[in-house]
A and B are shown apart, each in its own frame.
Chain A
Amino acid sequence: MRTIMTGNQAVAEAVKLAKTEVIAAYPITPQTVIVEKLAEMVDSGELDAEFIRVESEHSALASVYGSAVAGKRSFTATSSHGLLYMYEMVWWVANARVPLVMSVVTRTIGPPWNIHTDHTDILTMRDSGWIISMAENVQEAFDLTIQGFKICEELSLPFTAGMDAFQLSHTSEVVDLPDQETVDEFLPERKQSYVFGDEDFTVGSIGPNEYTFKLRKDTFETMLKAEKVVEKVSREYEELTGRNCGLFEEYKLDDAEYAIVMMGAWSGDAKDAIDELRREGIPIGLLKLRYVRPMPRKIKRVLEGKEVLVLDRDCSMGVGGILGLELKSFVDNVSNVIAGVGGVDVGVEELVKMFSLFVEGKLEETWWFV
């Protein structure tokens, strides 16, 4: 069905179509609309799920941790300070290998109090063991959420689908929603990862040091395997819907001498900027990351021989952008720029200017774009 929807509405639709069984969430701008919609769906009987009202984000994630351990398909959503408030549970869920999906509507962190987008909040999850994806548009926010359930359940790792505050969460744009039959065909019933028998058991109790070591090593190795699982699931989804949502997207990259690497809603602006520069004959292209974890290692090959500019909407103080740091660890010829932090509007005009400076070799490293 082709219609228009905001990112928040689309994610709620995805959660419904995935036949999610338990939802717990605490409201925070700009994520609130997702759970409001879901609450309405549960109330009207459109969605047969348990909706748990909680007193904080920490409890929200703790609740779905419990329901997911018990074998139920579970979902929560948050943003910014809400994510930070549930931070203990973020790690607990990953370390306990609990498959669930959380939508993070990326919003900058205060002070000053600010509800607009940057990617610092979602990247605080980077080292925890979550699968981390980021949408470019409303369609991808929908697609990634549906695929997230399958990916997390195959890997027994929690999955987060990120989308930019307001630019996606509150922007209405064209989406094509699959029908229930298509989603059912794609997404089987929740596969139980913990084996329940007649015996009582506890998840996440005390253990010897070696257990911790073994568990972390196993999560690390699972994350390496996750690249293949994401690609497999995205191919399965593509067969049914015609849309690929793999680890990354290449845009005019084949013959490019210059490559931009970035993620999120402003990648769309970057595509328009690249088209403008291409018209001037500049061989430039884009590699859009859809996933930060697993980090797609094969982009090293894709970017080989190109001058690479990584654009970050986040930073690690005194060192650079977080994606910039990541790519520098395994890709050659990487420059890094920080821009758009705190929701500062970066549009096609600014990106054309920035990319031109990069091509001319006049761009300063970790230049804070103003």
Chain B
Amino acid sequence: MQVVECLISKPSKGSAGKTGLWRTYKPVVDESKCNLCMLCWLYCPESVISSGGSCIVIDYEYCKGCGICSEICAKKAIEMVLEE
């Protein structure tokens, strides 16, 4: 029997585990400033940003805290806060 399962990987969420644990700084969104332009969604290298209707939503289980969203946000709506 060919052991194909050892050769094949499929796209899935968090194959490296809960990578949110790696974070030093956490991106925190100011809902009043977010205008849902979705630029952060476009730039997020981890695909952890989605739209939550009135404001973006960040999946903190997998966000590694790189800060690109905060850098790119035209409205300065995302602040990087030191994790506890």
- A and B touch in their complex, CB below 8 angstroms: yes
Q: Complex formed: what's the CA distance from A111 to B6 in Å?
A: 9
Inter-chain contact total with CB atoms closer than 8 Å: 3
Q: Is A112 an interface residue (CB 8 A)?
A: yes
Chain A residue total in the interface (Cβ 8 A)? 2
State A112–B7 Cα separation when bound (angstroms).
6
Q: Which residues of A contact B6 (CB under 8 A)?
A: 112
* Distance in angstroms between the alpha carbons of A111 and B7 in the assembled complex: 7
Complex CA distance for A81 and B6, rounded to whole angstroms = 19
Question: Which of chain B's residues have a CB closer than 8 A to the CB of A112?
Answer: 6-7
User: Which bracket fits the contact residues of B?
Assistant: under 10
Kindly state the separation between the CA atoms of A112 and B5 in the bound complex, as whole angstroms: 11
- Residues 97-111 of A at the B interface (beta carbon under 8 Å): 111
Q: Shortest distance in angstroms between A194's beta carbon and chain B's nearest beta carbon?
A: 47
Interchain nearest-CB distance for A52 vs B (Å): 36
Interface string of B1-24 (1 = CB under 8 A from A): 000001100000000000000000
A252 to chain B, nearest CB (A): 38
A127 to chain B, nearest CB (A): 29
Q: Please, how many angstroms separate the alpha-carbon atoms of A112 and B9 in the complex?
A: 10
Residues of B near A111 (CB, < 8 A) are 7
For B7, the chain A residues whose CB sits under 8 A away are: 111-112
Q: Which chain B residues (23-39) contact chain A, with CB distance < 8 Å?
A: none
Q: In the assembled complex, how far is the CB of residue A26 from the closest CB belonging to chain B, in whole angstroms?
A: 27
Q: How far is the CB of A112 from chain B (nearest CB, A)?
A: 6
| CB-based nearest A residue for B7 | A111
Report the nearest A residue to B6, measured CB to CB.
Answer: A112
A13 to B51, CA, bound (A): 56
Chain A residue with minimal CB distance to B9?
A112
Q: Which residue of B lies closest to A111 (CB)?
A: B7
In the bound complex, CA of A112 to CA of B4 (Å): 11
3 contacts across the A-B interface (CB closer than 8 A):
A111-B7, A112-B6, A112-B7
Q: Would you list the 3 A-B pairs with minimal beta carbon distance, nearest first?
A: A111-B7, A112-B6, A112-B7
